[in-house]
Amino acid sequence: MQTAYTVLILLMLVSLSRLVGRVIPLPLPLVQIAAGALLAWPTLGLHVALDPELFLFLFLPPLLFSDGWRMPKRELWKLRGPILTLAVGLVLFTVVGAGYFIHWLLPSIPLAVAFALAAVLSPTDAVAVSAISQNRLPRPLMHMLQGEALMNDATGLVTFKFALVAAITGAFSLANASLAFVLVAIGGLLVGVSLSWLVGRLRAWMIARGWDDPATHVVFMLLLPFAAYVLAERLGVSGILSAVAAGMMQSWLDLLPRQTSTRLLNRSVWSLLEFAFNGLIFLLLGLQLPDIAKAVVSHEPSLWPTLLYRVLDVLAIFVVLLVLRFVWVQSIWRLSGWLRRWRGKGELTLVPTARSCWLLTLGGVRGAVTLAGVMSIPLLIGDAAFPERDLLIFIAAGVILLSLVAACIALPLLLRDIPISPDEKRQHEVREAWRKTCEAAIHALEEEVLAESANPQDAAQAALAAELKARIMSEYRHQLEVFNDSAEAQALAFQMDLLERRLRVKALRAQRLELYTLSRHHQIGDDVLREVLADLDLSEANLGPVK
């Protein structure tokens, strides 16, 4: 029963942290870490013991699946070169450079374990960066950070697992590890794509037979990342990459027809899960902070001097990670620009200025995946304790905190002079998409009119059908006016559209109040209330925000 109480308290804190974050001008992860640390204060004394394997299995698959689902695929492909250099090249560069530095700074940490720590410190968190920058980052930079966060989660954690195996077994061969890395990565991707495709085919088969209950399909989606992870691990390939690949594949399969209600429910459920899981990870970090600090100094004669030295060690490791990232970004960016000019392809889309390099460097915030990975370090190697496990967790937690604090301070300063300009290309694509889909709808209705005019039918029914089609077509023609290229026509159409939405919202809210009145007077049952209320809510949600 105590476990259930703890889970409920943590979920309540996750919800409250969002409200507190709106009042306090701090990123949500920092608020949640502070809330967890406060909850672990001796007077409150909440303690959560974490099983490393359970922590890894519970948190990583859904988070990685969600990242793969959400990543814009066209931008990922368009920026594949810079993203791959950051997600693969920078990870390996960080593992080698930071690994040797950690071993030199802290000789008590074996070299293989130092490599494992450097690998788990490589994954970045684009969600935290987006919250800190408040969507003011230039869009190409944001897409690069999103793509890097998606790919280096997998690269860093796979490298971390190889380094852990080397630390546990004491044997390592670069040639064998490189080959195994490729096989494990390809195998994980194939398992994730295949399983996701099979689930998609199963769902299409169910829908074709009328089994289209949204709740059933959403349960399949909730189980898919865990199934992809477990199946891949059982087959000896990367469960991490399998979960990512399953999410990316499912984002295509989610566009299947006749899944409107399922898509609506899916988005809501996954938004909730992503928020809850990310929040729980940072809360758990805060809860563990006192225990982590105590464990680091438990074998030392003095408390505060030792803790100060450990904090300085964390600061040194963070600075080295920052320097390595800046050197890599600056070097690769300039090399890419030189290669493009040499091949006659012109300059890069985003000019590599010092500011953009620092934005990309400081945008590499560490977050939930780093914590989930380091918490999965085993407690024992055989019968002996894992070397310096508490110190590794302390370093990872410190780096996460420092990266968040550094981004909170530096990113707003770097973005201060950059105006928030609308993404004209995206807005043009949105207008074109609406315009062409409206034209397609009008053509389809016109063809329906022509097809029915060829078939004799009852005059009353024909008149009713013609009136309804004219009404629907007038709505689509109004939408075409809204997305007209003329500025004057757009302004007039938007004014009419806003007025219409206000009137519709007013009418819908009047309907809702009348529905409540009917329910209070017991003129309708609860089942009727829920059914009609759901339709009214969906209609109002489709109208969008109305000022």
| Spatial distance between the Cα atoms of 341 and 429, rounded to a whole number of angstroms | 29
pTM: 0.74
Query: 3-class DSSP state for residue 62?
Result: helix
Q: pLDDT for 62-120, tens place per residue?
A: 888 887 787 777 777 777 888 888 888 898 899 999 999 999 999 888 888 899 899 99
The residue behind tokens 């004209």 is 424
| Spatial distance between the Cα atoms of 444 and 283, rounded to a whole number of angstroms | 53
Q: Taking residues 226-241, what's their average pLDDT?
A: 88
Query: Is 365 in contact with 132 (CB distance < 8 Å)?
Result: yes
Q: List the one residue out of 158, 149, 237 whose CA is nearest residue 193.
A: 237
Query: Is 264 in contact with 539 (CB distance < 8 Å)?
Result: no
| Spatial distance between the Cα atoms of 352 and 372, rounded to a whole number of angstroms | 33
Query: 3-class DSSP state for residue 381?
Result: strand
CA quadruple 117, 118, 121, 126: dihedral positive or negative? negative
Q: pLDDT for 337-365, tens place per residue?
A: 677 667 666 555 555 677 888 888 888 88
| Top mean-pLDDT range of 248-262, 391-405, 455-469 | 391-405
Kind of pairing, strands 380-381 and 384-385? Answer: antiparallel
Report which residue type is found at 102. I
Query: Is 280 in contact with 98 (CB distance < 8 Å)?
Result: no
| Spatial distance between the Cα atoms of 105 and 260, rounded to a whole number of angstroms | 56
**Bigger pLDDT: 100 vs 183:** 100
- Compute CA distances 187 → 190, 230, 234, whole Å: 5, 13, 12
Neighbours of 543 (CB within 10 A): 14
Q: pLDDT for 455-505, tens place per residue?
A: 655 666 667 777 777 777 777 777 776 666 666 666 766 677 777 778 777
Strand partners of residue 381: 384
**Bigger pLDDT: 154 vs 309:** 309
Q: List the one residue out of 25, 519, 167, 90 whose CA is nearest residue 330.
A: 90
End-to-end CA distance of the chain: 46
* Size (the chain), residues: 547
Helix (H) or strand (E) holding 384: strand 384-385
Q: pLDDT for 509-533, tens place per residue?
A: 888 888 788 888 887 877 777 777 7
**Bigger pLDDT: 152 vs 246:** 246
- Compute CA distances 125 → 22, 147, 376, 384, whole Å: 20, 10, 18, 33
Instruction: Tell me the domain boundaries of the chain.
Output: 2-50+80-165+260-414, 424-485, 502-547
